[in-house]
Amino acid sequence: MHDSRLTKLAELIASYSIDVQPGDNVWIDNSVSDPSLAIELMRAISARGGKPYVKNVNQRILRQFLITATEDQIRTLADNDLAFMKQMQGYVSLAGSDNISELSDVPADRMQLYRKLHTKPVHFDQRLEHTKWTLLRYPNASMAQLANMSTEGFEQFYFDVCTMDYARMNRAMDPLKALMDRTDMVRITGPGTDLSFSIRGIGSVKCAGDRNLPDGEVFTAPVRDSVNGFITYNTPSPYGGYVYDNVRLEFADGRITNATAAANVDGLNQIFDTDEGARYVGEFAIGVNPYIMNPLKDILFDEKIAGSFHFTPGSCIPSTPNGNSSSVHWDLVNIQRPEYGGGEIWFDGVLIRKDGLFVVPELEQLNPEHLK
């Protein structure tokens, strides 16, 4: 696929998402078989005086590597990628697999080792904190199938959502950020959910096209030991090549004390037993993208669904530190619109969102009809 939409998207990423400056080194981490967007990105970055570097990663090759690699091999790969990342001012991940279950038969202990030795130091510790970065998918037939759409229809949806007016969204997020910054206690209720926690003193961050494409969330983190209650996620969520459904978590003083799902409960608990921080929560975010209404089984899209929130076991994000460190960061999503069962979000005893719509006047500009 090669058309003007790719050029527009690449220019948006270079000029807005990572704001390439003359001399910036930018790592394009490409797992897409079609090179068209990577090439357009190289052109757009170079036109702004940046220096693009492309590394191609194939999920089938990664699967084989993880199955056979020794610990020393994983360490060597991590050391090299970390050294490379430290030379970068920008990072763009172009992801697109023909099979979201490609890593499903990699043994759990191998995945845990890879996350610990590679993902955490390279991405959580270095990339998140020290580069301008953005993550995006590339439309393909597999994603269209997961969305129950034609390939052409999904491509148009993809470009609509990735090139929407993010500057407008950014302005509309200001009141929500201000409210989150001054909020202490949050309570979330809904079917199978009654959760309370504090976000006092953590701060919040707007995401409007500068970190993910598509984008559309404002995030913070709970005070690590403040989470109590239970939550049932109503959105299927892939992790490690397996799609988990109907995940239910129970919390006491911040820690996940019980975790169940519709299937593969052992696999679910293996994720939360990866390390100590995996049973604590590193992020709470509210999704507002008006073009994303239903799950695609792709977290980068699903966590932005209008009327949703995500509550994320694992590592916190450095810009909203709550002290939790882990090689896990799993954005599990709950949709609160009426067709998904409804629900409420309360800040310091004030109802701010009901059944997926903001009910506080200063936040109503974030409802879908105002952002399209």
* Amino acid letter, 70: T
Token pair of 79 as six digits: 């050391």
Helices (H), the chain: 4-12, 36-47, 59-68, 71-85, 108-114, 128-130, 141-146, 151-162, 166-172, 174-182, 265-272, 299-302, 368-371
Q: Span 19-36, mean pLDDT?
A: 95
3-state DSSP assignment of residue 365: helix
Token pair of 18 as six digits: 């990572």
Q: What is the pLDDT of residue 90?
A: 98
State the pLDDT confidence band at 241, using cuts at 50, 70 and 90: confident
State the pLDDT confidence band at 98, using cuts at 50, 70 and 90: confident
Residue 97 above 80 pLDDT?
Answer: no
Decide: residue 309, CB within 10 A, 0-12 exposed, 13-18 middle, 19+ buried: buried
Q: Give residue for tokens 């695609």.
A: 296
Question: What would the pLDDT profile of 151-194 be if each residue is shown by its tens digit?
Answer: 999 989 998 898 899 999 999 999 999 999 999 999 999 999 99
Q: What is the pLDDT of residue 372?
A: 87
Question: What would the pLDDT profile of 277-308 be if each residue is shown by its tens digit?
Answer: 999 999 999 999 999 999 999 999 999 999 99
Q: Span 122-151, mean pLDDT?
A: 90
Pairing of strands 51-56, 281-287: unpaired
Give the Cβ contact number of residue 346 at 10 Å: 17
Q: Is the dihedral of CA 305, 310, 312, 317 positive or negative?
A: positive
State the pLDDT confidence band at 141, using cuts at 50, 70 and 90: confident
Residue 54 above 90 pLDDT?
Answer: yes
Residue 251 above 90 pLDDT?
Answer: yes
Q: Give residue for tokens 């709950």.
A: 334
Residue 60 above 60 pLDDT?
Answer: yes
Question: What would the pLDDT profile of 63-92 be if each residue is shown by its tens digit?
Answer: 999 999 999 999 999 999 999 999 999 999
Residue 336 above 60 pLDDT?
Answer: yes
Q: Write out the CATH class of domain 4-162.
A: alpha beta
Q: What is the pTM of this model?
A: 0.86
Q: What is the pLDDT of residue 2?
A: 56
Question: What would the pLDDT profile of 197-237 be if each residue is shown by its tens digit?
Answer: 999 999 999 999 888 999 999 999 999 999 999 999 999 99
* Amino acid letter, 292: I
- Report how far residue 7's alpha carbon sits from residue 41's, in angstroms, rounded to the nearest whole number: 8
Q: What is the pLDDT of residue 142?
A: 86
* Domain residue extents for the chain: 4-162, 166-371
Residue 146 above 90 pLDDT?
Answer: no
Strand ranges across the sheet with 255-260: 255-260, 248-252, 228-232, 193-198, 185-190, 344-347, 350-354, 357-358
Percentage, residues of the chain above pLDDT 70: 99
Mean pLDDT of all residues in the chain? 95
Q: How many CA atoms lie within 13 A of 71 on its CB side?
A: 4
Residue 139 above 90 pLDDT?
Answer: no
Q: What is the pLDDT of residue 317?
A: 94
Q: What is the pLDDT of residue 175?
A: 98
3-state DSSP assignment of residue 191: coil
Residue 238 above 70 pLDDT?
Answer: yes
Q: What is the pLDDT of residue 19?
A: 95
Residue 140 above 90 pLDDT?
Answer: no
